[in-house]
A and B are shown apart, each in its own frame.
Chain A
């Protein structure tokens, strides 16, 4: 391989050797520390001053039980299988006369072992019903490693501290929920105009 010319600013030999011999370099460093001494500190005294954490912070996983349908996607997609789910099927009687009985899943146990969790967020990402959220809460260290298994009630408590997501960058495409709502509104408007009824302006559905 051919040798490329050294970059500009590579002074090479001169700066490698101490020119003065009077420790001027150290004086320079001391001047820097002296200047910094008179500047305001940039540290926070943690237990007294709580850190300001962004909404996307991956602190702890919160469970919104009501949204969980026991589809098991989270525990299957977890790279180290630290989500434990137990459930049973429940038969609901028919709601109408002569109707069919329906079965639904009932959650018995939902636990995340935070001693194994790698905080990758795949479970939150795959959850199709928004039952899992990240909360920026982080103060849950334990003296016993077994206490890091958070059962459903503890996971549910975390959901109180979940922050709303930040607004996206102007250059970002609209969220898929908005696109879906616009499409549905346009479809409804088209159906209404085909019937000859009063027409809504397309896109009105999104402002709901």
Chain B
């Protein structure tokens, strides 16, 4: 059934468009259009250089680097505690997951054993952080589509979780709670119960947010079959995370290469599962995000339950005054909220790394826009770009 307000959708593979100016044999000249770095339609300072023929996008090129802060070079003159400060800032929505990669790599090179309680608290915080990041995009993506309401619901839930994280770490965004060998300090008394309450409150109210998004006809009209990313293209461009899983690329490091306590959580019968969709359009990316929030809440709850049953013990190990990491190199990647986040750590036995290469998820996820946008309409550009769920700091590092 076709409705008046629904624009006819065109397969991105086919280049013939029958709608918009510039279609139907009208002679038009190509126009170069810069979207950003400062533009209301972008989020952050990602610049898109579009060549448009009427309303049709002929080619697109993301111009990155407006927010380059030289994080990798700065890592080389910081000791391993100071690196955590910087590392949690490239993707400011998933600070905890960013910290985690650094300390996991360092611990692996040191051959350090982390106390069990620390492992479970880390897993719990990583999952809460994932929920926070996803909720942010579940709020901001409809905002880009023109829906003002969902962001308030998303932020109410974010606030709920942020307050428990703030109570634990003192920070709402940059937790700075990981240390090599464990965590900064132990959890306050009663924190696990408050976390459990927060998780349950968020889960109870998630249907509110879903009601506003998944069934909404306008959201569907703007996202279903728009910006289709095929599985092969996603794999070719190294796209990862919820975007890749929406295209049917079933990769999740939590299950495929378990770190922290994920081996136990993703074991058969555990709460871990990986939402995968097959269409690869904007709608599937949105739905995967919602589904991932539910999974992460389940995982977080399992972590709290486990934490409450663990015997007493420390959450960190005593470190020497000057921590020197033995010579060697290691690559550790983790499943960040936005995709694969890897650190290649090369140490020459100093107290600072010789090189710490950062593989951030958003960088690859944004590059695929060069292939996704051509053939699309200008009006779908925002919808496609918003659904790629990137953080510009993560692109530009």
Write the residues of chain A forming the contact surface with B, with a CB cutoff of 8 angstroms.
1, 3-4, 6-7, 9-10, 12, 15-18, 21, 23-26, 28-29, 31-33, 35-36, 42, 53-54, 56-58, 77, 79, 118-122, 125, 134, 166-173
Contact = CB atoms under 8 A, between A and B. Distances in A.
B128 to A, nearest CB: 16
B313 A26 contact: no
B222 interface: no
Majority secondary structure of chain A interface residues (helix, strand, loop or mixed): loop
A166 B189 contact: yes
A9 B273 CA distance: 11
A154 B307 CA distance: 41
Contacts of B171: 58, 119
A21 B3 contact: yes
A170 B189 contact: yes
B75 to A, nearest CB: 11
A23 B6 CA distance: 13
Interface extent on B, as a size class? Answer: 35 or more
Contact of B85 (A33, A57, A122): A122
Interface of B: 1, 3, 78, 81-82, 84-86, 89, 117, 149, 153, 156, 159, 163, 166-171, 174, 176, 184, 186-192, 208, 211-212, 214-218, 220, 224, 248-251, 273-279, 283, 291, 307, 310-315
Contact of A42 (B156, B217, B220, B277): B156
B1 A122 contact: no
A208 to B, nearest CB: 22
A145 to B, nearest CB: 19
A77 B321 CA distance: 12
Contacts of A125: 184
Given A10-B276, A119-B174, A171 B78 contact: no
A29 B215 contact: yes
Given A7-B276, A121-B176, A173-B314, A28 B211 contact: yes
Contacts of B208: 32, 35-36
15 contacts: A1-B250, A4-B276, A7-B274, A16-B220, A21-B1, A28-B216, A29-B211, A32-B211, A33-B149, A42-B156, A53-B166, A77-B81, A119-B174, A171-B310, A171-B312
Contacts of B117: 171
Contact of A56 (B82, B167, B215, B313): B167
Contacts of A119: 171, 174, 176
B81 A122 contact: yes
A54 B166 contact: yes
A180 B190 CA distance: 26
A16 B170 contact: no
B313 to A, nearest CB: 7
B85 A79 contact: yes
A163 to B, nearest CB: 11
Contacts of B149: 29, 33
A25 B277 contact: no
A138 to B, nearest CB: 11
Contact of A169 (B163, B192, B214, B273): B192
What 3 A-B pairs come out closest when comparing CB atoms? A25-B215, A166-B188, A172-B186
Nearest to B77: A79
Contacts of B250: 1, 3-4
Nearest to A42: B156
B28 to A, nearest CB: 34
Nearest to B315: A172
Given A10-B277, A168-B186, A170-B189, A26 B85 contact: no
A120 B176 contact: yes
Contacts of A166: 167, 188-189
Contacts of A173: 186, 312-314
Given A18-B220, A29-B211, A134 B276 contact: no
Given A21-B3, A171-B310, 6 more contacts: A15-B215, A23-B217, A26-B218, A166-B188, A169-B189, A171-B311
A32 B188 contact: no
Contacts of A58: 170-171
A56 B183 CA distance: 14
A51 to B, nearest CB: 9
A35 B212 CA distance: 12
A161 to B, nearest CB: 14
